[in-house]
Structure formats: structure tokens, C-alpha cells
């Protein structure tokens, strides 16, 4: 399967690699921006620093305050943008398109910018100002990863030992055999999807055969971060669906709206999240056997599968994970985890928000809480209009500010603490 996937995607990938052109445009300074209506804890402030970018996904902030942002759909033919504030007024008025490929994952590390397409990872060298030196000539670090009809995004993070971690989601919700609805045992997809692969940053043109399947059994991880305090990998998994649709004899329609949990894992080398054989029920606080594999909503399973360190309600779609290491926010936020929740929970009647998980000594230290709310701009209990914004990416600025991207309108928010921090420096 891996060899087939590499051959199938290689042609498309290399065509994309040759299509790099740099384009710079300045956003008019009198361009109107909507008022910021985010609900934040006392003492926090939010400003809009960029707008109308389109499907803005993950992002990073450089030492000078410039932003690099990935788009899951091309804008003016570009899927990677460098945003710069030309007059230091707090608005990123200069947009430079770099890469002609859509994607999600992005990272800054050792004067290199890493940028993921849906099938691999490129690397750009940066100058002292952390500007891309040769935008048309990136190195291809990883190529040929599986990307089919769904869950194609590749999220990335790096450790301090020169390792790159890349997520590959499953295009099959529960590894069902077509026509029968039964789960395939063992699931043959796990050799190339539903896991996290580790590659070396020192080697180019790597494919599956060059990497290590670092972890498996993770249906679709979009939120991914290396925790420097624990020196370990953390991942946020999107849970599966279609319980009532496929198995009405075991699950009610209501149960389908509240199961299974969206889960945070601390992921060791060789870790197994349990997909597709088990899922996590946050109401029972148990790992349950999936119905495709003999489960009925009551049978537990997956004794060897990882236990989640945090469980969120179903369908909240965690799209980014960031461990906060700055000093601007109050001390309780230090080393805690921010998570963007890109969807809506029927159980909570809430969604489209940024959550916070307090950590102490490298472990969650209390229940998760809502940090930034009202991205939706509508009442989610009785909505009267369309959703305005969906938080997607997270980044920490050099001064400790928190940046949040929105992939509906393409707005980027900058969240600060205290009156002195509200002005961008």
C-alpha cells in the first residue's frame, strides 16, 4: 500500500514543487476591519492583525513579529503567505505569497521554515530577519504521503534532536470493508495512515520507507506540538462518527451526537491510540470496543491502547495544539496547553472557541476551560445566521502574545494580556 501511495502522489507532488513564484501585495491601510467581539478572561485583549486571507490554517510568528500562515485552499494561486507590518502600526499590511500548494502544517526551527503540503513537507532557509531566502527553491524533506478524499492535512512539529513529526489522517472513518460494513482485521490502512511518522531534518526526499512510524492508531491528528517541558510529543485526535447511521441497534441518534470523545494523548515512541478497534467514551471514562469489531456500546477494549490525558466532547474538531512557554500571560498559563476547537458540540451547545488546559509538572492539572469564545458571532443554541469565524491555528509571538487564525474569512487575531501588552511591538 505504501509503495502504491508513493507512486500515485509523486507526480502531483513534483509538479507542485516546481511552481514557486513570489508575489507581494500591500493591503490598503484604510481597509475596514470588523470589531473584535471575542470573549476573553479579564485582563486579556484581542486585536485583528490580518484579514481576508481565506482558509488560514496553522501559522508561526518570527522573531521580528512577522507571520507565516498556511492556507488549505489557494489564494491568488498561493498557499503559503508571509505577512509583514511595514509601518509598525499593528496591522500586517504586506502579504507575500510563496508556495503554490495548499496545506496545513508549518514550523520554524533553526532558521528554517518548514511547510507541509497535503502529501509532504518542504523546507525554506531564512535570513537573519527570518525572511525566506529562496522562495522558489525549497528543499523537499518528505514526499509521497497518502492524501485521498478526506482528512488530507499534514500537521508537523519538531523536537530538539533534529526529528520532524508528520501526521497522516485516515480516509476511512473506521477501517470498514466496503459492502459489508465490518471492520478489517487487522486494519491494512495502518501501514500508511492513521498515525504519526518521524523523519530526519538532515535528509531530503524522504518517503515512508525512510521514516519511522512513531505512533499508530490515531484516526486524524491535526493538533500537534512538542512539549519542551516534558520533552515529549502531544497530539489531539479527531474522533470517528456514524454510530447511529451504521449501528442503530446499539446507538441512538443522540448518542451519535455526543460520542466519541475528542482526545489529547501524550504520545511515546511506539504508542498506539487504539483506532480503529476502540474509541474513548468520556461519559463512561472508558475505552470502548468499536461496533465494527464486536462492540455494542457496552463492551470495553483496548487494554494496550494509550489512555487520553484529556477528553473533550464529541465533534469539537481540535485543529491546533500549543504549549504556552511565554511570560506575558499570568503564571497559571505557563506550560499549559491551548487548543483550537474548530467544530460544535451538541452536548455543550458550544463550539468554535479556543480552550485552555492547565498543566503542572508536565501533566494536566484540572479541567479544560474556555479561553477565547464567540468566534462564531452567533448564538449556537438558537443560531440566526451563518458562523462568522472558525479558529484553526495557534502560534506564540516573541513577546508571549497568542495568535489565532480563522479559516472561514482568514482573520488572524493577536491576544495579549494587560494594557501595556495590547500594542504590538
pLDDT tier, 322 (very low <50, low <70, confident <90, very high otherwise) = very high
CATH of segment(s) 2-417: 2.120.10.30
- DSSP codes joined into one string, 78-132: EEEEEEE-SSSSSS--EEEEEESS----EEEETTEEEEE-SS-EEEEEB-TT--B
Measure the CA–CA gap between 339 and 358, rounded to whole angstroms.
11
Per domain, the residue ranges of the chain are: 2-417
**pLDDT greater than 70 at residue 422:** no
Q: Would you state the pLDDT for residue 3?
A: 40
Q: Which residues of 289-306 are buried (b: 16+ CB within 10 A; e: fewer)?
A: bbbbbebebeeebbeebb
State pTM to two decimals.
0.92
Q: With H, G, I as helix, E, B as strand and everything else as coil, classify residue 333.
A: helix
Say which residue the cell 499549559 belongs to: 336
| 398 close to 63: Cβ distance less than 8 angstroms | yes
pLDDT value, residue 11: 38
Mean of per-residue pLDDT scores for the chain: 91
First to last CA, the chain: 50
**pLDDT tens for residues 186-204?**
999 999 999 999 999 999 9
3-state secondary structure of 7: helix
Whether residue 94 contacts residue 27, with contact meaning beta carbons closer than 8 Å, is answered with yes
Cα–Cα distance, 353 to 389 (Å, whole number): 9
| Alpha-carbon span 238 to 9, nearest angstrom | 24
Calculate mean pLDDT across residues 47-55. Answer: 95
Q: What's the CA gap between 340 and 319, in Å, rounded?
A: 6
Residue 193 · residue 146 · CB < 8 Å: yes
Banded pLDDT at 143 (limits 50, 70, 90): very high
Distance in angstroms (rounded) separating the CA atoms of residues 77 and 98: 9
Residues sharing a CB contact under 8 Å with residue 73, sequence separation 6 or more, in sequence order: 54, 55, 79, 102
- pLDDT (tens digit per residue) in 360-407: 999 999 999 999 999 999 999 988 889 999 999 999 999 999 999 999
Q: How does pLDDT run across 223-257, given as a tens digit for each residue?
A: 999 999 999 999 999 999 989 999 999 999 999 99
Q: What is the mean pLDDT of residues 13-41?
A: 58
- Determine whether 260 is exposed, middle or buried from the number of CB atoms within 10 Å of its CB (0-12, 13-18, 19+): buried
Q: Count CB neighbours of 15 within 10 A.
A: 11
pLDDT digit string (tens) for 66-75? Answer: 999 999 999 9
Amino acid at each position: 500500500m505504501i509503495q502504491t501511495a508513493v507512486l500515485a502522489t509523486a507526480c502531483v507532488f513534483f509538479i507542485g514543487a516546481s511552481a514557486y513564484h513570489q508575489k507581494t501585495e500591500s493591503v490598503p491601510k484604510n481597509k475596514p476591519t470588523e470589531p473584535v467581539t471575542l470573549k476573553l478572561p479579564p485582563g486579556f485583549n484581542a486585536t485583528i492583525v490580518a484579514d481576508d486571507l481565506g482558509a488560514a490554517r496553522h501559522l508561526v510568528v518570527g522573531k521580528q513579529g512577522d507571520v507565516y500562515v498556511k492556507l488549505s485552499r489557494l489564494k491568488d494561486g498561493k498557499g503559503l503567505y508571509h505577512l509583514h507590518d511595514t509601518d509598525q502600526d499593528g496591522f500586517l499590511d504586506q502579504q507575500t505569497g510563496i508556495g503554490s500548494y495548499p496545506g496545513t502544517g508549518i514550523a520554524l526551527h533553526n532558521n528554517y521554515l518548514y511547510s507541509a503540503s497535503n502529501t509532504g513537507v518542504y523546507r525554506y532557509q531564512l535570513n537573519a530577519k527570518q525572511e525566506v531566502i529562496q522562495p522558489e527553491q525549497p528543499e523537499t524533506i518528505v514526499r509521497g504521503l497518502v492524501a485521498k478524499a478526506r482528512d488530507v492535512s499534514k500537521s508537523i512539529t519538531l523536537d530538539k534532536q533534529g526529528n520532524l513529526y508528520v501526521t497522516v489522517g485516515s480516509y476511512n472513518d473506521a477501517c470498514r470493508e466496503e459492502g459489508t460494513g465490518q471492520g478489517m482485521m487487522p486494519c491494512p490502512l495502518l501501514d500508511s495512515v492513521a498515525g504519526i511518522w518521524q523523519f530526519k531534518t538532515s535528509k531530503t526526499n524522504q518517503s515512508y520507507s525512510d521514516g519511522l512510524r512513531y505512533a499508530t492508531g490515531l484516526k486524524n491528528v491535526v493538533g500537534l506540538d512538542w512539549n519542551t517541558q516534558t520533552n515529549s510529543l502531544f497530539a489531539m485526535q479527531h474522533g470517528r462518527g456514524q454510530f447511529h447511521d451504521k449501528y442503530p441497534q446499539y446507538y441512538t441518534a443522540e448518542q451519535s451526537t455526543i460520542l466519541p470523545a475528542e482526545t489529547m494523548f501524550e504520545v511515546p515512541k511506539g504508542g498506539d491510540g487504539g483506532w480503529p478497534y476502540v474509541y474513548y467514551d468520556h461519559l463512561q471514562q472508558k475505552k470502548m470496543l468499536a461496533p465494527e469489531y464486536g462492540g455494542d456500546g457496552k463492551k470495553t477494549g483496548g487494554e494496550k491502547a494509550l489512555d487520553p490525558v484529556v477528553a473533550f466532547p464529541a465533534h469539537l474538531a481540535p485543529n491546533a495544539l500549543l504549549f504556552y512557554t511565554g511570560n506575558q500571560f499570568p503564571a497559571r498559563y505557563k506550560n499549559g496547553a491551548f487548543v483550537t476547537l474548530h467544530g460544535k458540540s451538541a452536548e455543550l451547545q458550544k463550539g468554535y472557541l479556543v480552550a485552555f488546559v492547565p498543566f503542572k509538572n508536565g501533566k494536566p492539572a484540572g479541567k479544560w476551560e474556555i479561553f477565547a469564545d464567540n468566534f462564531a458571532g452567533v448564538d449556537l443554541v438558537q443560531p440566526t445566521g451563518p458562523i462568522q469565524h472558525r479558529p484553526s491555528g495557534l502560534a506564540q509571538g516573541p513577546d508571549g502574545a497568542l495568535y489565532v487564525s480563522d479559516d472561514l474569512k482568514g482573520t488572524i487575531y493577536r491576544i495579549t494580556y494587560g494594557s501595556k501588552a495590547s500594542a504590538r511591538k
